[in-house]
Structure 1
Amino acid sequence: MKKLISALFIIVFSITSYSQKTSEEENVKQTIETFFDGFHSRDSLIMKSVVNEEIVMQSIGRNPEGELKLHHEDFGKFLKSIISIPATTLFREELHSYEIKIDGDMANVWTPYTLYVNEVFQHCGVNNFQLFRKNEEWQIIYLVDTRRKEGCDQRKLE
């Protein structure tokens, strides 16, 4: 009887633990999706709603001479550049998958992507988001991406 009770306890605890992890992963994913909802609608308030005030943004890519560079971007300038895109310009960053890792109040999200402007391929790469949970809400504290034109899935927007 003790073995049966122990087995049931382990099963219930495992299910509860798994559902909590899945729920947190969904919360983290929703934070990233909210960021991109704001990005695609050119809405700085939506983007700011899921970003910490001390966010760090960087990109890794090649300059016109082919030299690999790490570019630091000011988040305020980034927001201004997004909201200034004309309404007639269609742009979409297509996320292909999410790999989410969580340890307590820290999360890491890896999202391969392809960027299109007016349905024309621009570049692809990977976004890497670092988040932390502040007052039970996930906030993006760091975003670094890679940018390349080779080895990309150049699908058209659907």
Structure 2
Amino acid sequence: MSKPQTSETDNVKATIEHFFEGFHKQDSTVVLKTVHSDIKMQSIGKNKKGQTVLTHGNFEDFLNSIVSIPKEKTFKEELLSYNIQIDGDMAHVWTPYKFYFDGNFSHCGVNSFQLFKDNEQWKIIYLIDTRRQDCKE
């Protein structure tokens, strides 16, 4: 019996799932396998004055912050759905989420991933997210 063929949509989704597997395990080696070496990161949220701001992130700093969360602390980013679009060697993935820290709701938003197919492997090249508190729990 032959193995069912994996679709490109399945491969793209697997890359995002693998990224979050490493994220939740605080394993930078796993995360790094899913991203391009020149990944860009941004976030949209509110500053202390309530103004909407766009911040630019450094991926190495992001990884260090995840790895350095004390092991007794728990965190989980719950992805609510996947909307995957592919054109040739480019993919876009839209994932609404809710984020919990130490079991308590922290914030919600949407991740927007851009990926490209590099040597038959989908790699995340750009990640932007929104962060809000006005979510339905």
1:47 maps onto 2:31 in alignment: yes
Q: Structure 1 CA distance, aligned partners of 2:40 and 2:25? A: 22
* 8 Å CA contact 1:108, 1:130 repeated in 2: yes
Letter in structure 1 aligned against 2:18: T
Q: What's the counterpart of residue 136 of structure 2? A: 153
Q: Deviations over 1:2-49 (max 9, x none)?
A: xxxxxxxxxxxxxxxxx97x7100000000000000000000010000
More helix by share: 1
TM-score w.r.t. length of structure 1:
0.83
TM value normalised by structure 2: 0.95
Which position in structure 2 is the counterpart of 1:140?
124
Structure 1 runs not aligned, ≥5 long: 1-18
User: Greater relative contact order (Cα 8 A, min sep 6): structure 1 or 2?
Assistant: 2
- How far apart, CA to CA, are the structure 2 residues paired with 1:70 and 1:46? 27
Q: Do the aligned partners of 1:114 and 1:153 also contact (CA within 8 Å) in 2?
A: no
Cα shift readout 1:54-78 (whole Å, capped 9, x = no counterpart): 0000000001110110000000000
Higher radius of gyration, 1 or 2 = 1
The RMSD of aligned alpha carbons is: 1.2
Work out the CA distance in 1 between the residues paired with 2:15 and 2:37: 15
Residue ranges of structure 2 left out of the alignment (5+ in a row): none
The letter of the residue matching 1:108 is H
